[in-house]
Amino acid sequence: MNKIMKTSLTAMMLVVAFVTINISCTKQFDAPPAYLAPNIKANTTIKQLKALHAVSGNIDQVKTDVIIRGIVNADDKSGNLFKSIVIQDETGGILIRMEGSSLYTSYPIGQEVFIKCNGLYLGDYNKLIQLGGGADMTVTPANLLTIPSPTFNQYIVKGTAGNVLVPKNVTIDQLSTNMQDTLQNVLIKLNNYEFAAADTSKTYANASTNPPGSANFVLKDCSSNTVTLRNSGYADFAAIGVPNGNGSIVSVYTVFGSTKQLTIRDTSDLNFNGPRCNAGGGSGGGGGTGTGTGNLLNETFESQVVPAATPFNAIAITDWTNLAEAGTQKYFARGFGTPINKYAQISAFGSAQATLTSWLVTKAVNLGSFANKSLNFETKAGFANGATLKVLISSNYTGTGNPWATGVNWTVLTASFSAGSATGYPATFTSSGDVSLNSYSGTIYVAFKYEGADPAGSASDKTTTWQLDNIKVSGN
Ligand SMILES: [Ca+2]
């Protein structure tokens, strides 16, 4: 090739490169970068991988090109898990031991991961199978080590984010302590459980001891079936009082030897707000015992899945109601910041709906026999131009159907709301203050009602974006 040809070829390549850069820059202003699926496929199920670890106490190194795929069902965000995440596929689940903290910033709940297992190690902690990065053979039984953080990208490839896992509805009899049980490390839901009466004034764990202590609770159902709930003293909910009613619990199913054990991600995994097993016909049965501080509802929205870009997910919490009375817009799970804080968000902005009225209603809250009961929540109003958010309470809503149906009585509660910013978002959330619920007893529902408008033109717009977080009902 002569020199002139070389020069013109280089010039042409520069032109091509310039055009390419220019196109990609323009594109990024229009839309978020397209998601590129990783060029990797699983060749082994989690069940098949676990079968390579047949004897409890052994350490088995994976020596072939095994690739598994799973969705993260639990991470270390609340601190209840430490240096680990849990993933599941259609065949089972497995705990992944990983070095480092705040793993959830890279591997949050809902994240799809592919793991290249060649060179990694399988072991078990009292029969709960785990995948790790090494083995300490100097102790008996040998100790499975974490995957070192500099090698995360060598072994773990991230796929799609924001996958929604629906917990499997199971009964206690379906759970076994066999090491190869396919429900171990899988997200499950048990119904009609409650804390023992003697435990109802306790906190989730012992946060105030040094070091903080974990706590085991024996949960029981109304037929005297039992299951152990284990909470870490390092969990950010360790100091919160346990709920006192009866209901469903979502958790990752684990074992400790021959004990069936549950691991929750956050307190929102428990929905113990119904009447207790032996509530009888007495008034207020099923509520708090009146001792200690009762945490009757605590919704932080942290278990919601928030993808990096649209489409976002409508708020979906067991036994909550998220419906539009006029228009079609629902409350969405959104988040902001690093690490991300998640909340509920509603806005008529860009909806082109002349009238928008949307309801977000909590699950049933049993106020029990506490003398003092109060509601707290936090709001932030962005680009405020008149759309309102109100908080209401009902004693006769049933938890299903339209909250605005004839015969359902709602009372507007007085609370402090974000004053809002007309040009953006306020820097901080505004606390509602303690809203007294002392004139209420028994089962109640709390609703947030958004009223906005996005008609043709902009003169009558009421499109304020409201953000809502940390909804708490407590008693003492
Ligand atoms: Ca939150």
Cα 315 to ligand 1 centre (Å): 12
Output the CA 336–ligand 1 centroid distance in Å. Answer: 9
CATH of the domain spanning 46-158: 2.40.50
**Could you tell me the distance, in angstroms and rounded to a whole number, from the CA of residue 301 to the centre of ligand 1?**
5
pLDDT category at 369 given cuts 50, 70, 90 is confident
Please report the pLDDT score of residue 233 as a whole number.
Answer: 95
Distance 370 CA to ligand 1 centre (A): 26
* 3-state SS string for 433-449: CCEECCCCCCEEEEEEE
Ligand 1 geometric centre to CA of 407 (Å)? 33
More confident residue, 197 or 63: 63
**Rounded distance, CA 404 to CA 406, Å?**
7
Of 82-86, 139-143, 259-263, 316-320, the one with minimum mean pLDDT is: 139-143
Instruction: Using the structure block, give the residue that is written with the tokens 């991988």.
Output: 49
Alpha-carbon gap, residue 63 to 359, rounded angstroms: 54
Q: Rounded to whole angstroms, how far apart are CA atoms 385 and 390?
A: 15
Nearest alpha-carbon partner for 217 in 236, 238, 234: 238
Q: What is the pLDDT of residue 277?
A: 85
Q: How far apart are CA 230 and CA 262, in angstroms?
A: 6
CATH of domain 298-475: 2.60.120.200
Neighbours of 330 (CB within 10 A): 18
Is the pLDDT reported for residue 35 higher than 90?
Answer: no
Using the mean position of ligand 1's atoms as its centre, give its distance from the Cα of residue 344 in Å.
8
For 254-274, the DSSP string reads EEETTEEEEE-SSGGGEEEEE
Q: What's the 234 CA to ligand 1 centre distance in angstroms?
A: 19
**Pairing status of strand 356-361 against strand 321-326:** antiparallel
Give 427 Cα–ligand 1 centroid separation in angstroms. Answer: 15
CATH of domain 168-278: 2.40.50
State the distance from the centre of ligand 1 to the C-alpha of 342, rounded, in angstroms: 4
How far, in Å, is the centroid of ligand 1 from the Cα of 441? 27
- Predicted pLDDT of residue 34: 63
Question: What residues have a C-beta under 5 A from ligand 1, the ion?
Answer: 300-301, 341-343, 469
* φ/ψ of residue 13, rounded to 5: -65, -35
Q: Assess contact for 116 and 244: CB atoms under 8 A.
A: no
Q: How far is CA 70 from CA 45, 115, 116, in A?
A: 9, 8, 12
Cα-to-centroid distance, 399 and ligand 1 (Å): 23
Element holding 14 (H helix, E strand): helix 3-30
Ligand 1 centre from 114 Cα, in Å? Answer: 29
Q: Which residues, at least 6 apart from 23, have a Cβ–Cβ distance to it below 8 Å?
A: none
Average confidence (pLDDT) over 337-344: 90
pLDDT digits (tens, 9 = 90+) for 44-90: 999 999 999 999 999 999 999 999 999 999 999 999 999 999 999 99
Domain boundaries, the chain: 46-158, 168-278, 298-475
> Are 381 and 427 in contact, with CB atoms under 8 Å apart?
no
Distance 254 CA to ligand 1 centre (A): 27
The reported pLDDT for the residue numbered 289 is: 36
So what's the pLDDT on residue 279? 62
Mean model confidence pLDDT for the chain: 89
Same topology between domain 46-158 and domain 168-278 = yes
* 116-131 tens-digit pLDDT: 999 999 999 999 999 9
**Model confidence at 16: pLDDT above 70:** no
What pLDDT is recorded for position 338?
83
Cα 94 to Cα 72: distance, rounded to the nearest angstrom: 10
Question: Distance of CA 252 to CAs 110, 159, 265, Å?
Answer: 14, 22, 8
Region 223-236: mean pLDDT is 94
Taking the centre of ligand 1 as the mean of its atom positions, its distance from the CA of residue 445, in whole angstroms, is 20
Asked if the model's pLDDT at residue 193 lies above 60, the reply is yes
